[in-house]
Amino acid sequence: MSHKHPLATLGHSAHTLLAAALFAALLYLPLGCSVGATSGAASPLQKEQTAESTGVVPSEFFGMVVKTPGVEPGVAAASRRLWDSGVTWAALEPASGSFVWTTLDAEVAAAAQAGAQVTLTLGMTPAWASSQPGLASSYGAGATAMPANLADWDAYVTAVATRYRGRISAYEVWNAPENAAYWSGAPGQLGANLAVLATHTASAVHSMDPAAVVVSPALSPAGLAAFIAAGGGAAVDVVGSALNGPGQAPEDMSTVLQQVRGVLVGTAADGKPVWNDGSSWLLPQGGLPAATQGAYVARALLLGAGLGVGRMHWYAWDESDASALLLADAQGMPTPAANAYATVEGWLAGAQMNGCSATAAGVWTCQLVRGGQTEWGVWSTGGSVTTSSFCASKSTYIE
């Protein structure tokens, strides 16, 4: 007799299996449980974890974008990525040399009060500094164009890094530049232009705040290769990436991350931390059940930590697009996806991650150690994970 559980969980014995469900139920399983999967897959515990340890998961791994100034996320997020909250270059410096700091001051202060580290996404050129000042954009005229004069960019970045020295810990060079909504330059010049901006950003930031880090734009593997070939890899301290996209499952992050790290091998960026600065999903037509949305969040966080991603900045706590996977409802209350986020954060923060791996049948296993206990997160994308009736009788369900 067996009980099938689609998602994996954590337990409390010296060695514990986390049966973390693909859908809603989370199940705590003790040592000695037999685990298998449909399609004839072997138990994940019958094979060695071949992935290397990725170290202790810091609280800063859990990052969040909050678009509405003054709103606090309903889950713990020890890193904040400031984007879409009225703090673009165009908003901060509407006229040359004239800065409006009110919103950014408030956002940085709120993050400090919450104990969160801040990443500021730079960019969106004001019309007066734009190389294409008449170009229409939802962020203002000329915002998606390269600045006409790099001295204006230098002055902007220097002013920000000086004012927020010791309070903004990371600066990201532009948002999603491979998306035409954010960047209007010729595709063939993208890597070179961004490498120039990254080099100037690093010079300005490090001269004003040596402890702050510069993060590359979140690029596809091909875009990253062009950026590095143009010298951008030497300028940045962290490699930004977009590890998930439309139509992808959380497990696809593994393939994309492998491609990203393949691009970095032998370059000036080899070995530098990789952050995911675009954690979010657009739902397929017809949507997904709420429980499945929670499973996407759980699997993404487990895999991100297990694969050694430095930060997972989720976009966004207060997203309102009905086609997106939402963490908060229209009243600002946590959705099942947010509850899954909080649950998995409780598992991972401070735990030693020993990597994630998968069987050919699609059974994924992530191993972690916390409080001296070895535990596993297990789920299947190709069938059900099964446990014995004894395990079910000893299990605790969390909905």
Of 111, 248, 221, the closest CA to residue 166 belongs to: 111
Instruction: Tell me phi and psi for residue 228, to 5 degrees.
Output: -70, -40
- More confident call, 226 vs 393: 226
- Angle, CA of 56, 256 and 137, to the nearest 5°: 105
Angle at 170 between CA 164 and CA 174, to 5 degrees: 105
Of 31-40, 49-58, 279-288, 310-319, least confident by mean pLDDT is 31-40
Q: Are 78 and 98 in contact (CB under 8 A)?
A: no
pLDDT tens digit sequence for 245-259: 777 889 999 999 999
| Average pLDDT along the chain | 85
Residue-wise pLDDT for 336-358, tens only, equals 999 999 999 999 999 999 999 99
Higher pLDDT, 365 or 37: 365
Indicate whether 56 pLDDT > 80: yes
Return the minimum-mean-pLDDT range out of 22-36, 66-80, 341-355: 22-36
Q: What percent of the chain has pLDDT over 90?
A: 67
pLDDT tens across 141-155, in order? 999 999 999 999 999
C-alpha pair distances (Å), 311 with each of 8, 25, 333: 22, 26, 24
Question: Given pLDDT bands bounded at 50, 70 and 90, which one contains residue 385?
Answer: low
Higher pLDDT, 127 or 10: 127
State the pLDDT at residue 78: 97
Q: How far from chain centre, in Å, is Cα 368?
A: 20
- Domain range annotation of the chain: 1-50+353-399, 58-349
pLDDT of residue 376: 84
DSSP classification of residue 324: B
Model pLDDT for residues 278-298, shown as the tens digit of each residue: 777 777 767 888 888 999 999
Compute the distance between CA of residue 142 and CA of residue 136 in angstroms, rounded to an integer.
6
Tell me the CA distances in angstroms from 285 to 164, 225, 246, 282, 289, one per residue in order. Answer: 43, 33, 11, 9, 12
Q: Where are the alpha helices (DSSP H) in 72-219?
A: 89-92, 102-113, 150-163, 190-208
- Over residues 198-202, the mean pLDDT reads 98
Closest CA to 250 of 200, 214, 288: 288
Which runs of consecutive H residues, i.e. helices, occur in 250-397? 252-264, 290-306, 336-348, 389-393
**Tens digit of each residue's pLDDT (9 = 90 or more) over 87-132:** 999 999 999 999 999 999 999 999 999 999 999 999 999 999 999 9
Give the Cα separation of 120 and 131 in Å (integer). 23
DSSP 8-state class, residue 53: P
Residues paired with 5 in a beta bridge: 385
- The encoded tokens of residue 241 equal 């990436």
**Which overall architecture, per CATH, does domain 58-349 show?**
Alpha-Beta Barrel (3.20)
- Among the listed residues 392, 376, 394, 387, the one whose alpha carbon sits nearest the alpha carbon of residue 47: 376
CA distances to 28, 87, 136, 170, 304 from 82, rounded to whole Å, are 36, 7, 23, 10, 21
Structure tokens at 95: 């006229």
